[in-house]
Chains A and B, each alone.
Chain A
Amino acid sequence: MALDRWIALSVLLISIAYGYAAFFTMDGSLPPFMQRNPIWPSTFPKALSVMAIITSLIILLGFEKGSGGPKDGEINYRRLGDYKIGQATALLAMMAAYALLLRPAGFLPSTVLFLIFGAIVLGERNYKILIPIALFAAGFIWYLVQVVLGIFLRPWPFFLGV
C-alpha cells in the first residue's frame, strides 16, 4: 500500500475517533438551556467527521487516480536512505531538545548551542567564524526581543536568577 493510502487510513481512524466523541460523548455534558439551541457545540464536528470519513475512504479505496510517481525536484520517500536522513533527524531532535532546554537553560545558552551544533551537523567546520556569528546572533535577537520590543525572554539559566 502506498504512503498516501496509509495516511488516508490514519486520517480515517482519527476522524472515526473524532466523530465518536462528537456523536456520543460530547453532548452528555451539555447544560439543559443549551439543548434548546438550534446549534450545539457538537454540530459542526459531527458534519466534519462525516465529510472526513467519506473523503478518506475515497482515497483509501483508490477511487481517485493517483498523480503518478514522484515529480522532479520532489523527494522520493521510497528511497529515503539516499538522502541525508541522519542530518534531518538530528536537527529535529535538536529542535525538541531546544524546546525542552529553553526555559531551564535560558535563551542565550540554548540558542548559541542550537546554532553551533546545527551548523556542525550540516558540515560546517570553520569554528572561528561559526562561534562568533552564533554568539552575535543570539545576543542581537535577545536584545531586539527583550530590550527593544519588551517581550520577556529569560537570558541565563534558572540558577543565575531572573
Chain B
Amino acid sequence: MFEGIMIGLTTALSFTNILMVIGGVLIGTFIGMLPGLGPMSIIAIMIPVAISIGDPSAALILLAGVYYGAIFGGSTSSILINAPGVASTVASSFDGYPLARKGQAGKALTVAAIASFVGGTIGAILLMVFAPMLASVALLFHSAEYFALMVVGLSAIAAFAGTGKVAKALLMTILGLIMATVGEGALFNMPRFTMGIMDLQSGFGFITLAMAMFALPEAIYLVLDPKRSKNEAGTEIKDLRITREEARQIAPVIGRQSIQGFFIGVLPGAGATIASFLGYAVERNIAPKGEQEEFGKGSIKGLAAPEAANNAACTGSFVPLLTLGIPGSGTTAILLGALIALNVSPGPRLMVDQPEIFWSVIISMYIGNVALLILNLPLIPYIAKILAVPRTYLIPFILFFTMMGAYIGQNNATELLILVGFGIVATILRFADYPLAPLLIGFILGSMLEDNFSRAMQLYDGIGFVLQRPMTMGLLVIAVILVVLPSYRARRARLRAKGVADGD
C-alpha cells in the first residue's frame, strides 16, 4: 500500500499536474456557483477536455479538481443567496444562509471549506484502508434496507418540528412526497397525476423546485422589506476567522459526520444527499438543549455537519466504483465513463492489474481537496463581497440566476413559469410560517423511497420484508427514535419546568 501511495504522489506532484489541479479547482468553483450546474454536469462538460490531455492521471487530476471545486461552488451559492443548485447542498443552506444574514458570510464559507476539507481527508484515509472490505458490505444492502435508510433520512424533518410546528412540518413533507409522485416512476410505465400536461411527464425538476422553495421567496422577502437587505451587522463582512472556542465546538461534529458520511456514501445510490440530511438530523438530536434551538438560525455546527458528511460521502462513493466497477452516484457514473474512455476499467481487478491507476485516482482526489482549501481560503473575503453589491443590482441578478438554473438544465421555458408559480406559492407558505425545507426533503427522497419500497414489495411479495430483514427493522427503529426523541425531550423539559417529578 505504501509503495502505491508513493507512486500516486510522484505522479500527482509534477508541475503540469499541479497546474491542472489549480485550473480544475478554479473552473469548478466558478461554474459551480451558478445554480443548476452541479458537479455532475460540470464534469460531463470537462470530459472532452480531460480526454484530449491523453495521460490518464493528468486527466483524472483535472477532473478531481473540477469535482471538489464544483462541490464548494455549490455550497457557496446556497450559503450566500440561499440557492442550493444541487440536492446535496440543500442541508448546507439551512444554517449557512442564516449565518450569512447575520453578517458572518465569511465565517460561514470558512467553516464550509474546512468542514469539506476534513470530510474529504477522513474519507480518503478510510477509502485507502477499507475499500476492499467495504465493497462486500455495500452488497448486503438491498432495496428493503434502502427504503429504511430513506425513512431515516426523512427523519431530518424532525429538526424543523420546533414548538408548535410538528403538524406543519409533517404536512409539508407529505406534500413534497406527493409532488414526487407526479410524472413517470421508474417501476411503473405509466404517467401519474400529469393532468394530461406533456411538460409534467417527467415530473417536476429538482432545481426548479429548489429555487422556488428557497431562493425565490428569499428574494421576494428582500424586495418586500428593504431593511432585510442590510445585514443585521451592517454590510461589512467581518469575522472571517473561526475562534478557538468555535473550532472546539465543531471539531467533534466534523469528525463524526465525516465517518458517518463516508459509510453512507459507500452504499450505491444513497449518496451525498442522504448523508447530508442525516448528518444534520443526527447532530441536531445529539446537541445539548441550548444549541438545539440554534439549529436553523445560524448554528455553525448545523453548517459543519452536512458539509463534512457531504464531502466524505462523495469520497465514499468511490469505493463501489473502484472495487466493483459500480457507480454509486451520477457523478461517479460520469467518472466511470471518463475512466473507460481513458482505457482504465474499474473493477475488482483494478487494484491487482493497475495499482498505479488505483492509487493515482485516490491521491488525485486528495490533491484536489488540498488545492481547493489552499486556493479558496484566500478567495473567501472576495466571494463574500457578492453580498455587498447594492440591492438594486443584487436582486435582479439573483432572480436571473434562479431562472437560468431552472432553464439550462431542461432547455424548457415552461419550467420558468412553473418556477414563478411555485415561488409565489412558497412565499405565501412562508408568510403563514410553514417550513419549506421539509417539502424539498420530501420531494428529493420521495421517488427513491417509493422505488425502493416497491422493489422490496415485489421481491418479498408483500410487506413481510420489514420483519424478515433485521437490518431494515433496525433502521426503521432508529428513524422512529430520531423523530420521537426531540418531542419527548421537549415534553420532559416542559414538565420539569412546571415542577412535575420525572418518575422512574
Residues of A in contact with B (beta carbons under 8 Å apart): 2-4, 6-8, 11, 15, 18, 21, 26, 29, 34, 37-41, 43-45, 48-49, 51-52, 55-56, 58-59, 63-68, 70, 73-75, 77, 80, 83-85, 87-88, 91-92, 95-96, 98-100, 102-103, 111, 114-115, 118-119, 122-124, 130, 133, 137, 141, 144-145, 149-153
Contact = CB atoms under 8 A, between A and B. Distances in A.
A7 B434 contact: yes
A136 B261 CA distance: 42
Given A45-B181, A92-B220, A95-B399, 4 more contacts: A48-B181, A66-B164, A100-B413, A119-B393
A99 B226 CA distance: 26
Given A65-B164, A92-B420, A102-B407, A7 B461 contact: no
B51 interface: no
B178 A18 contact: yes
Contact of A75 (B221, B414, B419, B420): B221
A11 B171 contact: yes
B429 A7 contact: yes
A114 B177 CA distance: 34
User: Chain B binding site: helix, strand, loop or mixed by DSSP?
Assistant: helix
B431 A64 contact: no
Contacts of B168: 4, 59, 64
Interface residues of B, number: 64
A59 B167 contact: yes
A52 B170 CA distance: 9
A118 B395 contact: yes
Interface stretch (B187-195, B338-346, B351-359): B187-195
A7 B416 contact: no
B397 interface: yes
B198 interface: no
Interface in B159-183: 162-168, 170-171, 174-175, 177-178, 181
Contacts of B396: 91, 114-115, 118-119, 122
A103 B458 contact: no
11 contacts: A38-B461, A39-B454, A63-B167, A66-B164, A83-B225, A95-B403, A103-B413, A118-B395, A119-B392, A122-B223, A151-B411
B226 A84 contact: yes
Nearest to A52: B174
Interface string B444-484: 00000010011001100110000000000000000000000
B397 A55 contact: no
B432 interface: yes
Given A55-B174, A59-B168, A77 B432 contact: yes
A99 B174 contact: no
Contacts of B220: 88, 91-92
A98 B407 CA distance: 11
B2 interface: no
Given A45-B181, A66-B164, A51 B174 contact: yes
A138 B170 CA distance: 41
Nearest to B174: A52
Contact of A98 (B163, B403, B408, B432): B403
B423 A74 contact: no
Nearest to B177: A48
A83 B433 CA distance: 18
Contacts of A87: 223-224
Contacts of A124: 390, 392-393
A81 B417 CA distance: 26
Contact of A39 (B170, B420, B423, B458): B458
B391 A15 contact: no
Contacts of A83: 224-225
B7 interface: no
Best-buried of B393, B404, B453 by chain A (most CB within 10 Å): B393
A21 B193 contact: yes
A149 B432 contact: no
